[in-house]
Amino acid sequence: MAATAKNKKLRVAVLASGGGSNLQCLLDRFPPGDDSPAPAQVVLVVSDRPGAGALERAARAGVRGEVVSPSEFAAAELFGARLLELFARERIGLVVLAGYLKLVPPNVVARYSNRMINIHPALLPSFGGKGMYGSRVHEAVLSFGAKLSGPTVHFVNEHYDRGPVIAQRAVPVYFEDSAGQLAARVLEQEHELLPDVVGLIATGRVEVSGGRVRIIRD
Ligand code: GRF
């Protein structure tokens, strides 16, 4: 998976349902084309929502954007087959879920085992799982009274938010916080953490061993 030569950049697809601020950070760090020295390039953006801000960001960056909605398909397997067809056509080496709200079908998870990552806005394994997305996550952190929160980037497996953790960042949680204030503090860290992890993967410094992740530092 490592990208070494200039013309062997890791080719990245980003799946996003919403505004795509994390996508933007990836586009800024890993622009399409061979001009930048970055070890990866974002070459495909897929959304389930035609109006997603993420698609506008893709268009502005000159990256191919596709709308693929699970509701168009009679079965999850067919939805997955369509995603896999797009990934194959673009020779995708890494799939990044950045605010993607649909379940990725099992055939895609299997094909992209250890090559698909997700960002979650809390410190997993707490405050994750089915239905835990958006402000619900931050509301749960606040109502539990946790004193730390922060983003987690992890490999995707067949269970919601349960694949091997690659990296986390901690931010303080204040008694006076609203869910929106906490979300903003976490998001600021997401914007650094996600591109950092993609860079580590693109340079071959992320190893999975026995269900755990080792980061190879310089
Ligand atoms: C982020 O908080 C991310 O952790 C979660 O969805 C949100 C997406 O935000 N999975 P954006 O669309 O990247 O701005």
Q: What pLDDT, in 10s, does the model give residues 134-168?
A: 999 999 999 999 999 999 999 999 888 999 999 99
As a whole-number percent, the residues of the chain with pLDDT over 70 amount to 97
Cα 167 to middle of ligand 1, angstroms: 16
Cα 72 to middle of ligand 1, angstroms: 24
Which protein residue has the closest C-alpha to ligand 1 atom 8?
Answer: 99
pLDDT value at residue 2: 54
d(CA 139, CA 145): 10
Rg from Cα positions in the chain: 17
Residue 70: CB atoms within 10 A of its CB come to 17
Q: How confident is the model at residue 193 (pLDDT cuts 50, 70, 90)?
A: very high
Structure tokens at 166: 């690659």
What's the pTM value of the predicted model, to 2 decimals? 0.95
> Which residues contact ligand 1 via a Cβ below 6 A?
16, 18-23, 98-99, 119-121, 151, 187, 190
Nearest to 39 by CA among 213, 218, 198, 207: 198
Q: Please, what is the average pLDDT of the chain? A: 96
Cα 196 to middle of ligand 1, angstroms: 16
pLDDT value at residue 1: 56
